[in-house]
Amino acid sequence: MKKRKLGHSDLFVSELGLGCMSIGTEEKVARNIIEAALEEGINYFDTADLYDFGENEAIVGKAIKDIREQVIIATKVGNRWDSEKTGWSWDPSKSYIKEEVKNSLKRLGTDYIDLYQLHGGTIEDPIEETIEAFEELKAEGFIRYYGISSIRPNVIREYVEKSNIVSVMMQYSLLDRRPEEEVLPLLQKHGISVVTRGPLAKGLLSDRLLEKASEKGYLDYTYDELHAILPLLKEKVATSRSFTEVALHYNLTNPAVASVVAGASSPEQIRRNAKAVKSKPFTELEISMIKSLTKASNYQDHR
């Protein structure tokens, strides 16, 4: 599988990453999924301290223990579980980040994290303090690089201007083109890579199509619009491709994107996703057709 450089770092990530939140808590099942990903050439594994109360990190760590140097572990911080583990609160403070990284390292069974990401963020956060925490962790050797996971343009701009982030993880798909107008060009200009999540738009862009459609619609799309647009996309673009191919390749056509992170709950799903990414890239005509059929909305509700 092809790899792309992650921002200004020396990390080269596979075009398809595994979103580990979906692998579950049954260790044998999860290990089979991770091993299938490795067999397909996937080297980028995305987890978070929040997933399954940290158990997800532990499962990932055990599965890649013997090949640690060959893979890139990305995890996240900022959400603090309450004592009853019934909910969590947002904590981007320096003290919490520097303490929590130790717990993630222990669960992952590693001495360092390749990419440590802030798991959210608001403009009201103590951003300078948060950046200071990540910079210190980098200087101390606990992390190699850091980034943020955010869809908020105002937060992203702050980190672009004030920090040394190498990546931003964000939701992006051909049904959610909000990043295209402002965010993706900004990050590309500054040499910061995008890692995308949600490429299949909650299953709407899989071959199951409208089986996943909700009466509430999806973002700017009404239920009726989805019923009109999805069959058209299949007719015009997915004639010789699976919908998974269309969805994943659309993200990868943007030069700001380094990797598309997709979840998988079985080895078979991993193999299908990998096959889709390894297929031939889009032509300009296909890209143009997709853009003519979908909406280029903006982030007015996320500022």
Looking at mean pLDDT, say which of 87-91, 127-131, 206-210 comes out highest.
127-131
Token representation of residue 136? 């210190």
Using a pLDDT cut of 70, give the percent of the chain over it: 98
Residues 44, 51, 146, 221: which is the catalytic one?
A: 51
Model confidence band, residue 303 (pLDDT cutoffs 50, 70, 90): very low
- Mapping DSSP to helix (H, G, I), strand (E, B) and coil, where does residue 295 land? coil
Span 154-167, average pLDDT: 98
Strand extents, DSSP E, 92-217:
113-119, 143-149, 167-171, 193-197
Mean of per-residue pLDDT scores for the chain: 94
pTM to 2 decimals?
0.94
Q: What pLDDT sits at residue 300?
A: 62
Torsion angle of the four alpha carbons 98, 51, 300, 234, in this order, in degrees rounded to the nearest 10 = 140
CB 219 within 8 A of CB 175: yes
pLDDT tens readout for residues 67-78: 999 999 999 999
- Whether the predicted pLDDT of 301 surpasses 70: no
Q: Give the residue with greater pLDDT, 206 vs 165.
A: 165
Q: How far apart are CA 54 and CA 230, in angstroms?
A: 37
Specify whether 51 is catalytic: yes
Banded pLDDT at 189 (limits 50, 70, 90): very high
